[in-house]
């Protein structure tokens, strides 16, 4: 993964994670599998777990271990109220940010 994607990813990937659990709680495998399928988002599924840990410690996510009927316990993640407002805030910031970059770099109208 190049320097550019690393820089762009920093600060945006966490909101992709928050958006994934916005409607319903999901367990770790679901989240990292989905993000791992996007080659320019994650360097590997395993690199998402430290991010999940930080989001939980900073109070945007909450997690609970749930026994699975078939197999090992699963750790489910859900949005906290703080996480929900952080996601809303990002959405409005992101749109104006993207429009500014498009205007300055020339990636907007011509496409």
Partner 1 sequence: MKTSKTDVVAEYLREVDQRLAGLPVLQRRELLADLAAHIAAEREERNLSAEGEVIEVLERLGSPEAIAAAAHEEAGTRPAPPARTTNWVLIGLVAAGALVVLFVLCGLVFFAQGSSSDDAPAPQRTAPVPTITG
Per CB under 8 A, 110 contacts partner 1? no
Where would I find the H helices in the chain?
3-9, 13-20, 28-36, 48-57, 81-105
- Candidates 2, 7, 39, 72; binder of partner 1 (CB under 8 A) is 72
Per CB under 8 A, 73 contacts partner 1? yes
Number of residues that bind partner 1 (CB under 8 A): 23
Site for partner 1 in 34-53 (CB under 8 A): 36, 43-47, 49-53
Per CB under 8 A, 27 contacts partner 1? yes
Q: Which is nearer to partner 1, 52 or 86 (CB)?
A: 52
Q: Which is nearer to partner 1, 48 or 79 (CB)?
A: 48
Q: Which is nearer to partner 1, 6 or 85 (CB)?
A: 6
H/E element, 77: strand 74-79
Q: Hunting for tokens 């300055």 — which residue is that?
A: 104
d(CA 111, CA 102): 10
H/E element, 66: strand 61-66
Q: What is the CA radius of gyration of the chain?
A: 16
Contact set with partner 1 (CB under 8 A)? 27-29, 32, 36, 43-47, 49-54, 68, 70-75
């Amino acid at each position: 993964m190049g320097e550019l994607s690393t820089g762009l990813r920093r600060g945006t990937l966490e909101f992709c994670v928050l958006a994934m659990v916005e409607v319903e709680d999901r367990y770790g495998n679901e989240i990292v599998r989905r993000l791992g399928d996007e080659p320019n988002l994650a360097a590997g599924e395993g690199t998402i777990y430290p991010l999940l840990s930080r989001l939980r410690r900073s109070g945007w996510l909450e997690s609970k271990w749930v026994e699975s009927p078939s197999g090992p316990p699963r750790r489910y993640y859900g949005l906290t109220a703080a996480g929900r407002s952080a996601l809303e805030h990002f959405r409005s910031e992101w749109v104006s940010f993207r429009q500014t970059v498009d205007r300055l770099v020339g990636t907007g109208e011509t496409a």
